Amino acid sequence: MIEPVLKEHLPVCLDIIKKSYEDTAVAFGMTEENCPYRGRTRLPLSVFEKEFNDGYMMYGYTKDGRIIGFLSMQLKENTLYIQDIAILPSYQHNGYGGELLQFAKETALDAGCPKLSLGMVHDNIPLREWYQGHGFHTVKLLHFEKVDYMVGIMESEHLQ
């Protein structure tokens, strides 16, 4: 079940982000020096709470009474930006991320928003292919001086 996150759920959701993103942070050599908050694996609760207070749309995926997934989005102009989509590692590869992504698409449609966008480690080929399988395509590549990987900006404009 996908439900809006309440402020008291933020520590649990932040833990989901940290655990979900850890393998990518290690695989791509993210450190505090070369990547802000080490790819969100070291995001302080205060920063996360600020995002909540600033109006980011946050949702938890609950299974068996436990939050196991998290989705965070922000609406800007005609685009809904996905900030985070994370599933606890022990629950990954079971379709829950796809459900959260479909929920994001439905949220965009309900808001009259024609486009979803996100940023991700473009060199993370399995994840990039997963997004492509869900209708996303790379529209921009960014390279930052301190890292050896590319950041891809991906969009989906066919939200049905």
Query: CATH number, domain at 75?
Result: 3.40.630.30
Please tell me the pTM assigned to this model: 0.90
Number of folded domains that form the chain: 1
Q: Which residue has the tokens 């309440």?
A: 6
pLDDT tens digits for range 136-156: 999 999 888 888 888 889 999
Distance in Å from the first CA to the final CA of the chain: 21
Question: Which of helix, strand or coil describes residue 65?
Answer: coil
User: pLDDT at position 3, please?
Assistant: 96
User: pLDDT at position 159, please?
Assistant: 59
Bridge-based pairing state of the strands 2-4 and 66-76: unpaired
**H-run or E-run covering 75:** strand 66-76
Asked if residues 60 and 86 have their Cβ atoms less than 8 Å apart, the reply is no
When pLDDT is averaged across residues 154-159 and rounded to a whole number, the result is 80
* Structural domain range at position 61: 2-156
